[in-house]
Amino acid sequence: MSLELQGKMRQYLLGHVTEAEREEVETTILTDDKAFEELEIVESELVDDYLAGKLSPAERTGFENSFCDNAERQQDIQFSRVLHRYVNAEAIASTRQPGPAATFWQRTWVRPAALGLAFVIIVLGTVWYVRSRREETTTFVAATLTLSAGNRGEGNNSTSVKLPSNVDAVKLNLQLPAPVAGSYKIRLVRPSGEEELKIAGVHDQLLTVIIPADQISRGAYAFKLYQIRSDGSEERISGSYLFSVE
Amino acid sequence: MRRHSDTTQEDFDRLLAWLDEDRDEAGKKYEKIRTRLIKIFACRGCCEPEDLADETINRVTARLSEILLNYQGDPVVYFYGVARKVHLEYVRRQDRSVPEKVTIDRNDDEERMYECLDRCMETLPEKNQQFVIRYYQDEKKAKIDNRNLLAAEMGIAVNALRIRAHRIRKLLKECVTSCMTNIAVN
């Protein structure tokens, strides 16, 4: 399938075509099996690009206007988001699998290193245990948020969090759009302004933020996520994590 | 093969006979036309593409006696002409009414979908599981490099790789949809 046709289909899906071009594409996909399959491929790629924040502002507007109006397409977007979440989790898991045990233990440096590592694990385990015991005394309401292209005012992409009066804090797990790389900074956008929050942890492509219940009230919120590179510079990750407290 | 509820079996048989002399082939052509009409209506931003595709087929079926007398050409082209009129009427109706916004319970649905995807991945052959993970992992430039490498390893062109990924993704999506329906029913 030619790159020209791919480009035409992309423009068609974004609604950036004239009536004549639209008829040309539609007649082609009705009569040509390969062209129809190509349209489906371009459609999936467009959804992936949208979720990855790779569309230009004009493409994003076209996508949101012409792409999100029916349940099946909402499910396509949801499926793409879930597929990428799954694939990234699996990719991380597969890189953590150990090599063959016998050859590994035969290496001379491995045993002292393992003893040192065991010591570190015991110390970290103790710290984790003490912290987790301390955390058990706090009651949370938890929610997982995914990166959304929308703004704080757009409620349809927002996750709602019910905050009963008897909980101590809101624990929000932010699904990172890509495997963990470097460190992160998070800013909470409130109706009254923005503030940087402390990150409680980053684990398995989830970044955890804990907000004490007395520091958050009913309303719409958004998180902005920044990636801190090894040279200290920071880059805003496109999109926001939207949620509302009820 | 789904027949529209307003269409009699006799009308439907005549429609199939018009599409192809061989009934099995006619059935395939019918499904193909319906699927593609649904896609076209969805691409035109319609909220109920399936209903509009069925309306199109229904109108063609109702006019079949006239079509058989006066029209000579590819049935697909005739369907497309009717689909455009159906769309025009739909747009006029939309101008007079407030469109209903589709909302999905994202958190619950996505967790169920993730579980279903996990199960569906297990049904794929091991090599296809690995392929999906390699094809869709990484971002931006790394993704492009990764796909070029994958295509080279498999000895196929990048476009053939896209088609392969799409076919597996389509199977997975069908499996996930069916899994979620089963969960909803149970």
Higher-confidence position of B119 and A115: B119
Residue among B32, B47, B104 whose CB faces A78 most closely: B104
What pLDDT is stored for residue A103 in this prediction? 46
Cβ–Cβ below 8 Å for B36 and A36:
yes
Residue pLDDT, tens place only, A50-90 = 888 888 998 888 888 776 567 777 888 899 999 998 988 88
Check B117 against A74: CB less than 8 A apart. Answer: no
Looking at residue A142, its pLDDT comes to 81
d(CA A220, CA A217): 9
SS (H, E, C) B63-101: CHHHHHHHCCCCHHHHHHHHHHHHHHHHHHHHHHCCCCC
Number of helices (H) and strands (E) in chain A: give both, helices first: 7, 11
B46, B103, B163 member nearest A156 (Cβ): B103
Smallest Cα distance from A177 to chain B, Å: 9
- What percentage of chain A carries pLDDT values higher than 70? 83
Check residue A246 and give its pLDDT: 82
ipTM value > 0.90: no
Q: From the CB of residue A2, how many other CB atoms can be counted at a distance below 10 Å?
A: 9
Q: Write out chain B's pLDDT in tens, 186 residues.
A: 555 556 788 888 999 999 999 999 999 999 999 999 999 998 888 888 999 999 999 999 999 999 988 998 899 999 999 999 999 999 888 765 555 554 545 566 888 999 999 999 999 999 999 999 999 986 655 667 788 888 999 999 999 999 999 999 999 999 999 999 888 776
